[in-house]
Structure 1
């Protein structure tokens, strides 16, 4: 039996302890991913479309509103969590406060039609002022906004918990296993749940709401944070809250936006995220309404794609140890451009959608892994969270506006425009990233001597 002690900060584990804390976090990551990253973005467009919402409104609810909230809240939450000091740690209090509300909103989203119909029967004033469809859409939008607000606390803070509690000897393996689990969960959802999305959506939401609450209750109870050094004073001796906040903001902006290398990197990544927006929101509706596929057929294709993506994730991780992630990132963009060009003209039936869907999923998997490694290699290690939040905020600015125009374009040009949208924004992203690559070489990247530039 391994008697070695593994440490991270003030935390000490046996091998069993490392396995136990890893299992809790992997389980929480799995449930969070399915509930918040798959279930809500996939099923809410179906529900809104069912009650007559326009593509513009769907895009705003799924894209613009969350992006706008993320843009404002992510830096605040990230900074606040970094500086929080409680007996329970700096991450757990945020998770404990947000998890019950998210579970409740999952229930409301799942049962929205039934809730509105019951309210209509018992409150005559609602019947006089609103149609049933309008009231259901309104409840979905309201619940979605509340859900996204509290989801930002989980989505931001939960992933900062890993490096705080997992010993460095295991962090690489932990992240690899997590990515495989997330890919597998995407496949499982598409295989086993999506085909029942219309008829049993309320029970699917109920099941995941319960699993979400139980998994995060377990994390809050059984995953312990260590002790942290006191938070660095932003404006020593200055007791005025506004002046301290202003000093913090100046430091944040200067660090993250003071050098064109990082600004261009942020823009390139944001354009890449925008390029997938229409496909993420409208791909299911494209398959059902234009190609005539069923939810079960779509789920099977997405499930196979997710399984194949797992293999590409593992293979890419091996290659990234030997090839610059920026090169792989740009190369994946070129492949996306070609796939969208051919997809626009060729995807007219189940077989073509199946082939292009699998190829797209494989390339996106390569792109996602290489992006993550780029951030780790290019951002300053001592301010990694700060730069991640700046990157996320700029992504949100782009997504907030692009979501509306994406929905506008789909309403005007049809669901097939998802290919054109992806192609155009990927061309822009690849061009910007080429400029980033040239700057990276000047900063010593080509010789292995890269040092993050200082503003």
Structure 2
């Protein structure tokens, strides 16, 4: 998608060796957003529909949480860094990202078809095993686990590198506005699924899995075929060590490069705390709403209203991030969110108060997600973007694995007083704001708005860099 040379006087945009005219930027945006829509329809639908299917198998709650939550996070912590480093170093005629996005796509679609026919396959397996069968529920869960694991492996590869592709091909001058549209597509996909399909998921699980698998396979494949990458400089040579340490060399290099530089540690801390700050309120919002007498219908309308507000704000927020930098948007969003959650904790625990604070919580969370969507592409090293992005995801995934049970235990100890979820949100967001201040200071040290250059980690382990 390298646009033809622009005529004199026409504005051009560049991303590495790629050059775009206005028509080229529009075409690039359309194809990436088309792929994003197919991707987001899958992401929005898969977890709730999978939970409904598992519930129909009479699966215990702990197994549902293990399959849908913990296992994907665990696979991501192992697979994400490996795929990221391999992609950063890959050079080929199709680029360094497209091959890793294109190859898993049909397998993800096939896994979704497999999930669609899981009930029938589970029943066939139960009959085939005869007296050796663990029972109909057991065989269905075995079949589900097989296809679900295959689905998650492919999805994790795609999820890890899709943002890296965007970072490589979208011009930095407009990347904030692109991520605003990216966020808008996500919200639209969520609205469409919840409005049209969620109510039918119980009775039409098979059809939803099958149709969305086909839609994702076609839509994402077309994007991979239409979006073109530029040329990249050769990767830096890999240092060889003694045979004894050879097997651990990639892991040691990954950890040394990602986690021994103070500036990137501040980035990981700000990024992670900002991403999980809304988790305490989200985890218990429906229970909090019921505890103050709010009906599920009013709760749903409050959530839908927040989505509409977030959708309206997406493009202005993207423009704001392009103009003032996402690091500043993130700082102010976390400060405002800290104020909202503190108010949610100290104000009277009543229905009207919860409606307003929950609405503000959701909208400010959306502002943070939209305003900081381009933070990693603006701050991380271009040559090793996927590697550093995977390191940030690694830290976040670790927190996501341990945070829910800790939150549940805390709320239980506090006698199910759900307003304490706002207190936890305040503490995490205040920590995130502090991390953003440190990150902003590091940003100025490395050139600031006019001359920023991401620091390159030293090849040798020299302790924490400044």
The TM-score normalised by the length of structure 1 is 0.80
Q: Is the 8 A contact 2:97 2:161 kept in 1?
A: yes
Q: Is the 8 A contact 1:282 1:415 kept in 2?
A: no
Matched, 1:117 2:127: no
From the superposition, tell whether residues 118 and 290 of structure 1 become closer, same or farther in structure 2 (CA, over 3 Å): farther
Matched, 1:431 2:435: no
Which residues in structure 2 correspond to 1:202-351 (within 5 Å)? Answer: 202-235=206-239, 238=240, 246-277=248-279, 301-320=302-321, 321-322=323-324, 324-338=328-342, 341=345, 345-346=349-350
SS at match of 1:199: coil
CA distance in structure 2 between the partners assigned to 1:318 and 1:274 by the alignment: 24
CA distance in structure 2 between the partners assigned to 1:172 and 1:432 by the alignment: 21
SS at match of 2:373: helix
Deviations along 1:143-164, one digit per CA (max 9) or x if unpaired, are 3322221111111122211233
Report the counterpart of residue 29 of structure 2 in structure 1.
Answer: 22
Deviations along 1:339-371, one digit per CA (max 9) or x if unpaired, are 653799435xxx887655533320111221344
2:53 to 41, 47, 53: 47
Q: Is the 8 A contact 1:183 1:306 kept in 2?
A: yes
Which residues in structure 2 correspond to 1:135-214 (within 5 Å)? Answer: 135-168=139-172, 170-214=174-218
Q: CA deviation at 1:243?
A: 5.5
Give the structure, 1 or 2, with the largest relative contact order (CA under 8 Å, sep 6 or more).
1
Q: Is the 8 A contact 2:331 2:433 kept in 1?
A: no
Report the counterpart of residue 41 of structure 2 in structure 1.
Answer: 34
Q: Is the 8 A contact 1:6 1:13 kept in 2?
A: yes
SS at match of 1:255: helix
Say what the alpha-carbon RMSD is for the aligned residues: 4.1
Q: CA deviation at 1:167?
A: 4.4
Q: CA deviation at 1:79?
A: 1.0
Q: CA deviation at 1:85?
A: 1.8
Q: Is the 8 A contact 1:103 1:213 kept in 2?
A: yes
SS at match of 1:304: helix
Deviations along 1:176-229, one digit per CA (max 9) or x if unpaired, are 322222222222222222222212222122211011110122123333333333
Gaps of 5+ in 1: none
Report the counterpart of residue 129 of structure 1 in structure 2.
Answer: 134
Q: CA deviation at 1:81?
A: 0.5
Report the counterpart of residue 401 of structure 1 in structure 2.
Answer: 402
CA distance in structure 2 between the partners assigned to 1:84 and 1:195 by the alignment: 44
Q: CA deviation at 1:89?
A: 2.0
Q: Is the 8 A contact 2:111 2:147 kept in 1?
A: yes
The TM-score normalised by the length of structure 2 is 0.78
Report the counterpart of residue 359 of structure 1 in structure 2.
Answer: 360
SS at match of 2:148: helix
From the superposition, tell whether residues 408 and 309 of structure 1 become closer, same or farther in structure 2 (CA, over 3 Å): same
Deviations along 1:286-313, one digit per CA (max 9) or x if unpaired, are 889998967x877655443322112233
CA distance in structure 2 between the partners assigned to 1:381 and 1:69 by the alignment: 25
Q: Is the 8 A contact 1:189 1:303 kept in 2?
A: no
Report the counterpart of residue 92 of structure 1 in structure 2.
Answer: 98
Q: Is the 8 A contact 1:78 1:389 kept in 2?
A: yes
From the superposition, tell whether residues 94 and 385 of structure 1 become closer, same or farther in structure 2 (CA, over 3 Å): closer
SS at match of 1:232: coil
Deviations along 1:262-290, one digit per CA (max 9) or x if unpaired, are 33442343344444446666767988999
Q: CA deviation at 1:234?
A: 2.0
Paired residues, number: 445
Q: CA deviation at 1:51?
A: 4.0
CA distance in structure 2 between the partners assigned to 1:282 and 1:46 by the alignment: 19
